[in-house]
């Protein structure tokens, strides 16, 4: 198990967003978090990444309890995420965005950077090389010096994923990565995620609405409805499950 | 300190606090709906004071008419500021808006400086305000009594507007979630204009009271007062009107108390607001009334 | 991005050459303006670090410049001079004991300024940075109040004069060059990238592992350090300082400079400095009586400031990116691969 979510409850004021939810993800799985809009999927993401503190329950990553860790520290423990509405750094190129992901891999101090001591150059060279590797692997080479936010939606998505991979995570959280894509792009994205999973030896947790994509990609899924887990398992079984059908009515005709 | 002096200082403190409160309300309301620290707000107070001064000295009208003119001038200034300088930047990064506000503030200060000259002006309030009233040994002027009373009156009217009228509800909704409100068919720009009208009018009243209480006017008088009034608003809880008033009273009273009890610290009385600001930021950033604007940014 | 590229060396050489030639080209008046410009370049590029690069609106310069000015002035004045100058109260013992040469004095100015910045940063950056502007504005006032009311340290409102005039354009220009280089080194490092990330999208920055509080504080302290040094240089250049010198107008000028030049562009800050300081001299005529086509106007001191505030508002409304936007000279001349 790489990620264990145990008895998590989260409420905002009087509204219970996540209701006593438990699930786990195995290493190298591609795991789907699905459910109707407003079911609590993004809230769950935010709890995992430390943006929200749960009212109760635990988040355990690779044996470590990370429930109350600060959000910027989560990356050090090995979780990176992308956002539903693609949040790239607007003043930077593709390569610079990815270099940000390599912050922690560059081992030099502030003073070393101000006075350009040797370690600055060796570490910068190291991360520049690593950034190029990731860029080449994701076929972003021709865009690497372009302003990230000036590129097409699909490319921006890839850049955001590249930036997340750059942090060398154990677990990659993708929030609706296929949103706004046509079937061809979606197919390519699925292929890409398989390759990423294999090459970087990571586990992927994604929120998605596109059932065909989920079916193609995910080993297992968890269906959330009104903050409660109503199903966990393989997607073929999910489709047949009564509760799921009730919650979802209609989306499964594509699967 | 004997009891009479204590009561006297208490009343002075409440009077000063009322003026801070009147100005703090404008800060807190504009911050509530626009998330903007309106640097130019206190300068609107200053403009009102100068308008009244001009009306009394040069136009030679009655005090009442001068007050009305002052309120009108500051309301117009407030509306213009919003329309010309802030509205075009509604969807720009916040830093742009803040910088523009600073620019407007500086502009107002210097336009008044150029128009009226740099020498401090003496405000000629009707003598009525200077009459001494002896009350069981305490020396009071009508000013220190009128100011708090009028402030409480205005505050009650404002709270009535906010909680019992359609416009008030729209203002509170806007403070809560500006995007959704626009989608519900409410003209958010009109509501914002109303917020500026209310804030500017109250600041004008505060300015007139200030001019009566401390009759030396300079174009830069708003700077220090504005800083303190904003600190008062933060102390009370930025975004909360009652908080602004509460913060204003606390600040006013503390300033008077510190100077009365420790006269040697008199030069540092202006630093009290700053100290409050730091304390609030460290201990409870949402202030006494504690309104939390943190919505999900993720 | 490693910074030793050809363009940069060229600019450096041109700057050095310019500084060396300047005393032979300009007269006293021109040299005074040039010195002023160099000091303001130091202030502007530092100010740009917290405001333009990290995106946190701060109004701190006048406070840190004041601190730096007083520290350097006190360090350079000899003990005898201090006994002579301090009229309101006797100078305090540690003030008397403070005796340093120019470079240690400037460094001390920087260190003291950044120490104060650290203290300020902790409460402010822990919560919403919105308040940074107000707190720094108040901070500037407090410094002035402290300067006026601590006669045993600062000689109160009288201020300090007869500060030894030990610098010339080689100093101001040289330190300006060093400052620009050091700050550019910060910008083109992982720390600078992190600062820009915080500016562009603070939440995405923390999601990618950046400790935004630490980065903002780092930027703030660095800005303060160089502003302190700039203040020290200013004290020596003017040879006389008093609390009145360090008003909000100083911060306001710097704000116009970096906005005009382009928030986030160091090249822009340099251009902005030349335009604003130079323009400020040129616009002096506005403050006095003017002869327009034979019609003589009255003197209206303060008209210059009105023009400045209008410039700021107009730039913000119509040309928010300023002259350079977020680009540097090297970005414009970079050949497309």
pLDDT tens track for C177-196: 999 999 999 999 999 999 99
CB contact under 8 A, B113 and C302: yes
Which residues 212-241 of C have a C-beta within 8 angstroms of A? 212, 218
Q: Give how far C326 is from chain B: nearest CA, Å.
A: 14
Q: For residue C201, report the phi and psi dihedrals to the nearest 5 degrees.
A: -165, 95
C213 occurs within a structural domain: yes
- Residue range of the domain that includes B57: 3-219
Model confidence pLDDT, tens digit, residues C203-255:
999 999 999 999 999 999 999 999 999 999 999 999 899 998 998 889 999 99
Model confidence pLDDT, tens digit, residues A60-104:
999 999 998 998 999 999 999 999 889 999 999 999 999 999 999
Quick check: B80 contacting C, CB < 8 Å?
no
Q: Give how far A117 is from chain B: nearest CA, Å.
A: 34
CB contact under 8 A, A100 and C2: no
3-class secondary structure, A254: helix
C317 occurs within a structural domain: no
Q: Give how far B83 is from chain A: nearest CA, Å.
A: 29
Show residues of chain A in contact with C212, CB under 8 Å: 72
Quick check: C3 contacting A, CB < 8 Å?
yes
Quick check: A89 contacting C, CB < 8 Å?
yes
C144 occurs within a structural domain: yes
Chain C nearest-CA residue for B100: C313
Show residues of chain A in contact with C219, CB under 8 Å: none
CB contact under 8 A, C305 and B285: no
How many Cβ pairs closer than 8 A exist between chain B and C?
113
Are the C-beta atoms of C32 and C197 separated by less than 8 Å?
A: no
**The pLDDT of residue A164 is above 90:** yes
B99 occurs within a structural domain: yes
Name, in order, each residue with C-beta under 8 angstroms of C93's C-beta and a sequence gap of 6 or more.
none
Q: Are strands A56-61 and A64-65 parallel, antiparallel or unpaired?
A: antiparallel
Chain A nearest-CA residue for B297: A51
Gyration radius from chain C CA atoms: 20
Q: Give how far A121 is from chain B: nearest CA, Å.
A: 34
**DSSP conformation class of C52:** I
Are the C-beta atoms of A252 and A63 separated by less than 8 Å?
A: no
Contacts 24+ apart (CB under 8 A), B68-71: B70/B204, B70/B207, B70/B208, B71/B201, B71/B204, B71/B205
**CA distance to A77, B132, C188, per residue, from C4 (Å):** 36, 76, 11
Are the C-beta atoms of B217 and B120 separated by less than 8 Å?
A: yes
Question: Of C218, C123, C128, which is closest to residue B275 (Cα–Cα)?
Answer: C123
Ranges assigned E (strand) in C188-275: 240-241
Task: Give the pLDDT score at B296.
Answer: 45
Structure tokens at B70: 């002052």
Task: Give the pLDDT score at A251.
Answer: 53
Quick check: C124 contacting B, CB < 8 Å?
yes
Structure tokens at C309: 């505030």
Are the C-beta atoms of C73 and C82 separated by less than 8 Å?
A: no
CB contact under 8 A, C316 and B273: no
Give the largest Cα separation in chain C, rounded: 67
**Residue C109's CB: how many other CB atoms inside 10 A?**
32
State mean pLDDT over C34-57. Answer: 95
Show residues of chain B in contact with A42, CB under 8 Å: 298
Task: Give the pLDDT score at A255.
Answer: 52
Q: Encode chain B (298 residues) as per-residue pLDDT tens digits.
A: 678 888 888 888 999 999 999 999 999 999 988 888 899 999 999 999 999 999 998 888 889 999 999 999 999 999 999 999 999 998 888 888 989 999 999 999 999 999 998 789 989 888 888 888 887 777 888 888 889 999 999 999 999 998 899 888 888 888 877 777 777 777 888 899 999 999 999 999 999 999 999 999 999 999 999 999 999 999 999 888 989 999 999 999 999 999 888 888 888 888 899 889 888 888 888 889 877 655 444 5
Which residue do the tokens 């972003």 mark?
A140
Task: Give the span between the Cα atoms of A203 and A191, in whole angstroms.
Answer: 15
Model confidence pLDDT, tens digit, residues C140-153:
989 998 999 888 88
Q: Across the interface, which of B230, B268, B277 has its CB nearest the CB of C145?
A: B268
Task: Give the span between the Cα atoms of B131 and B144, in whole angstroms.
Answer: 11
C270 occurs within a structural domain: no
Quick check: C327 contacting A, CB < 8 Å?
no
Model confidence pLDDT, tens digit, residues C80-102:
888 888 888 888 888 888 888 89
Question: Of B240, B243, B233, which is closest to residue B276 (Cα–Cα)?
Answer: B233
**The pLDDT of residue A35 is above 70:** yes
Rounded to 5°, the CA angle B290-B295-B298 comes to 145
Show residues of chain C in contact with B282, CB under 8 Å: 123, 126
Q: Are strands C295-296 and C291-292 parallel, antiparallel or unpaired?
A: antiparallel
Show residues of chain B in contact with A10, CB under 8 Å: none
At residue A252 the predicted structure's pLDDT band, cuts being 50, 70 and 90, is low
C285 occurs within a structural domain: no
Show residues of chain B in contact with A46, CB under 8 Å: 296, 298
Are the C-beta atoms of A73 and A65 separated by less than 8 Å?
A: no
Please tell me the number of Cα atoms within 13 Å of B158 on its side-chain side: 26
Quick check: C306 contacting B, CB < 8 Å?
yes
Task: Give the pLDDT score at C89.
Answer: 82
Q: Give how far C161 is from chain A: nearest CA, Å.
A: 35
Q: For residue B292, report the phi and psi dihedrals to the nearest 5 degrees.
A: -105, 115
Are the C-beta atoms of C314 and C252 separated by less than 8 Å?
A: no
Q: Give how far C304 is from chain B: nearest CA, Å.
A: 9
Q: Length of chain B, please? A: 298
Question: B296 — alpha (psi -120 to 50), left (phi > 0) or beta?
Answer: beta
At residue C336 the predicted structure's pLDDT band, cuts being 50, 70 and 90, is very low
B7 occurs within a structural domain: yes
What is the tally of structural domains in chain C?
Answer: 1
B78 occurs within a structural domain: yes
Quick check: A111 contacting C, CB < 8 Å?
no
B62 occurs within a structural domain: yes
Show residues of chain A in contact with C223, CB under 8 Å: none
Quick check: C335 contacting A, CB < 8 Å?
no
At residue C333 the predicted structure's pLDDT band, cuts being 50, 70 and 90, is low
Name, in order, each residue with C-beta under 8 angstroms of A121's C-beta and a sequence gap of 6 or more.
C2
Name, in order, each residue with C-beta under 8 angstroms of B110's C-beta and a sequence gap of 6 or more.
B219, C302, C303, C305, C306, C309
Q: Are strands A79-81 and A171-175 parallel, antiparallel or unpaired?
A: parallel
Name, in order, each residue with C-beta under 8 angstroms of A160's C-beta and a sequence gap of 6 or more.
A82, A83, A86, A87, A88, A97
- Residue range of the domain that includes C234: 6-246
Show residues of chain B in contact with A83, CB under 8 Å: 298
Show residues of chain B in contact with A51, CB under 8 Å: 298
What is the tally of structural domains in chain B?
Answer: 1
Task: Give the pLDDT score at B287.
Answer: 87
Quick check: A103 contacting C, CB < 8 Å?
yes
Please tell me the number of Cα atoms within 13 Å of B30 on its side-chain side: 31
Q: CA A22: distance to chain centroid? A: 19
Chain A nearest-CA residue for C263: A91
Q: Give how far A71 is from chain C: nearest CA, Å.
A: 6
pLDDT: which is higher, C225 or C19:
C225
């Amino acid at each position: 198990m790489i990620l264990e979510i145990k008895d998590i409850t989260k409420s905002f004021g009087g509204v219970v967003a996540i209701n006593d939810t438990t699930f786990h993800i195995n290493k190298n799985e591609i795991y789907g978090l699905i459910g109707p809009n407003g079911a609590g999927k993004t809230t769950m993401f935010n709890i995992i990444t430390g943006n929200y503190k749960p009212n109760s329950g635990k988040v355990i990553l690779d044996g470590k309890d990370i429930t109350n860790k600060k959000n910027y520290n989560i990356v050090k423990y090995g979780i990176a995420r992308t956002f539903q509405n693609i949040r790239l750094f607007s003043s930077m190129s593709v390569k610079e965005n990815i270099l940000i992901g390599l912050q922690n891999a560059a081992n030099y101090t502030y003073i070393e950077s101000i006075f350009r001591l040797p370690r600055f150059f060796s570490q910068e060279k190291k991360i520049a090389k690593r950034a190029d590797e990731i860029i080449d692997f994701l076929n972003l080479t021709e865009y690497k010096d372009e302003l990230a936010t000036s590129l097409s939606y699909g490319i921006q998505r890839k850049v955001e994923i590249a930036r997340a991979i750059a942090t060398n995570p154990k677990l990659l959280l993708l929030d609706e990565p296929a949103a706004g894509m046509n079937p061809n792009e979606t197919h390519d994205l699925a292929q890409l995620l398989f390759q990423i999973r294999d090459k970087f030896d990571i586990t992927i947790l994604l929120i998605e609405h596109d059932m065909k994509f989920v079916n193609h990609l995910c080993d297992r899924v968890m269906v959330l409805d009104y903050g409660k887990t109503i199903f966990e398992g393989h997607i073929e079984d999910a489709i047949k499950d009564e509760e799921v059908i009730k919650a979802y009515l209609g989306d499964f005709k594509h699967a | 300190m004997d009891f009479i002096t204590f009561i006297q200082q208490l009343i002075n403190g409440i009077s000063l606090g009322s003026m801070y409160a009147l100005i703090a309300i404008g800060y807190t309301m504009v911050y509530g709906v626009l998330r903007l620290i309106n640097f130019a707000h206190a300068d609107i107070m200053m403009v009102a004071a100068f308008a009244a001064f001009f009306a009394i000295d040069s136009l030679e009208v009655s005090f009442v008419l001068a007050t009305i003119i002052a309120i009108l001038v500051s309301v117009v200034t407030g509306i213009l500021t919003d329309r010309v300088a802030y509205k075009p930047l509604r969807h720009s990064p916040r830093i742009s808006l803040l910088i523009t506000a600073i620019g407007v503030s500086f502009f107002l200060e210097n336009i008044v400086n150029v128009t009226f000259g740099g020498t401090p002006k003496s405000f000629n309030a009707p003598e009525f305000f200077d009459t001494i009233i002896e009350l069981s040994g305490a020396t009071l002027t009508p000013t220190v009594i009128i100011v708090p009373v009028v402030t409480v009156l205005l505050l009650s009217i404002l709270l009535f507007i906010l909680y019992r009228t359609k416009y008030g509800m729209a203002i509170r909704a806007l403070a809560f979630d500006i995007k959704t409100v626009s989608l519900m068919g409410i003209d958010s720009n009109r509501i914002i204009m109303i917020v500026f009208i209310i804030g500017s009018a109250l600041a004008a009243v505060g300015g007139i009271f200030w001019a009566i209480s401390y009759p030396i006017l300079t174009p830069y008088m708003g700077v220090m007062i504005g800083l303190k009034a904003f600190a008062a608003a933060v102390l009370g809880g930025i975004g909360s009107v009652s908080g602004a008033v509460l913060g204003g009273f606390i600040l006013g009273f503390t300033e008077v108390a510190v100077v009365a009890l420790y006269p040697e610290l008199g030069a540092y009385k202006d630093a009290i607001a700053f100290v409050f600001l730091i304390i609030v930021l460290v201990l409870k950033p949402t202030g006494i009334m504690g309104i939390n604007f943190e919505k999900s940014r993720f | 991005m490693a910074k030793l590229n050809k363009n940069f060396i060229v600019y450096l050489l041109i700057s050095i050459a310019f500084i060396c030639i300047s005393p032979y080209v300009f007269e006293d008046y021109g040299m005074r303006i040039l010195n002023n410009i160099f000091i303001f370049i130091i202030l502007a590029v530092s100010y740009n670090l917290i405001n333009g690069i990290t995106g946190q609106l701060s109004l701190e310069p006048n406070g840190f410049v004041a601190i730096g000015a007083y520290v350097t002035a006190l360090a350079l004045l000899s003990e005898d001079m201090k006994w002579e100058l301090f009229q309101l109260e006797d100078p305090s013992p540690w003030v008397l004991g403070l005796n340093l040469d120019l470079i240690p004095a400037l460094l001390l100015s920087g260190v003291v300024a950044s120490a104060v910045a650290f203290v300020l940063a902790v409460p402010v950056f822990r919560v919403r940075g919105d308040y940074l502007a107000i707190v720094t504005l108040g901070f500037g006032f407090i410094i002035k109040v402290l300067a006026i009311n601590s006669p045993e340290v600062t000689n109160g409102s009288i201020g300090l004069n007869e500060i030894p005039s030990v610098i010339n354009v080689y100093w101001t220009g040289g330190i300006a060059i060093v400052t620009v280089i050091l700050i550019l080194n910060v910008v083109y490092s992982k720390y600078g990238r992190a600062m820009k990330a915080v500016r562009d999208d603070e939440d995405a920055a923390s999601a990618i592992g950046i400790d935004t509080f630490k980065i903002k504080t780092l930027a703030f302290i660095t800005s303060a350090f160089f502003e302190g040094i700039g203040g020290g240089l200013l004290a020596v250049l003017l040879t006389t300082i008093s609390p009145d010198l360090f008003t909000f107008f100083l911060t306001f000028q710097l704000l116009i400079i970096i906005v005009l030049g382009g928030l986030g562009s160091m090249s822009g800050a340099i251009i902005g400095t030349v335009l604003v300081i130079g323009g400020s001299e040129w616009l002096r005529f506005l403050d006095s009586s003017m002869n327009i086509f034979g019609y003589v106007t009255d003197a209206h001191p303060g008209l210059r400031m009105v023009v400045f505030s209008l410039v700021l508002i107009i730039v913000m409304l119509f040309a928010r990116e300023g002259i350079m936007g977020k680009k540097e000279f090297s970005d414009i001349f970079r050949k497309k691969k």
